[in-house]
Amino acid sequence: MKIKLASAVALSHHPRLLILDEATSGLDPVVRDEVLEIFSEFTRDERHSILISSHILSDLEKLCDYIAFLHKGELKFCEEKDRLLEQYGVLHCTREQFAALPREAVRGSETSPYGVRALVLRDRMPASATVERASVEDIILLSIKGGTIR
C-alpha cells in the first residue's frame, strides 16, 4: 500500500518524468502488476517518461521501451527492447551441437549436465536450428555468463 500511495502522490503533481529505483521490489505479484499498470497508463501519454532501475527484469520487459544494462560499473548495452527481443534467441542443444555452431552467432552460454543453453543471434543461425524467443532476463543473464553483447 505504501508503494501505491507513493505512486499516487508522485503522479498527483502531474510530472512529465518519474525516476524510480526498485519501485516494485518487495511487492506480491498482484500488487506489482497493479503498480506496473499504473506506470504503463502514465507512459501512454507521449509527453510522459519513466526512468526505472530494477532487478526484476520481467517488470522492465513489461514496462520499458529501452533497456540499458550496467554490469560492474560498465554499460553493456542500451538498446530498444523490441530490437533486443527480435535480434536474440535461446538455443538448447548438446555440447556437440554447441561446438558446431558458428562462433559469430553465439553471444553467451551456460553448460549444465543436461546440455548447453546459448544466447544466439537469430540471423546468424542455420535455418535448421530451433531457436526459442529470448526474454530480457535471458539476454542479460546469458550475456554475462561467458558472453558479450555487441
pLDDT tens-digit readout, 3-26: 777 777 888 889 999 999 998 888
Instruction: List b or e across 42-73, with b for residues whose CB sees 16 or more CB atoms inside 10 angstroms.
Output: beeeeebebebebebbebbbbbbeebebeeee
pLDDT at 78: 93
pTM: 0.80
Q: What is the mean pLDDT of the chain?
A: 89
Q: How many domains does the chain have?
A: 2
CATH number of residue 43's parent domain: 3.40.50.300
Q: What do you get for the CA distance between the two ends of the chain, in Å?
A: 41
- 59: domain range? 2-64
Same domain, 15 and 49: yes
CA pair distance 51, 63, nearest whole angstrom:
10
In the predicted model, is pLDDT for residue 149 greater than 60? Answer: no
CA pair distance 94, 32, nearest whole angstrom:
37
Residue pLDDT, tens place only, 98-140? 999 989 999 999 998 999 999 999 999 988 889 999 999 999 9
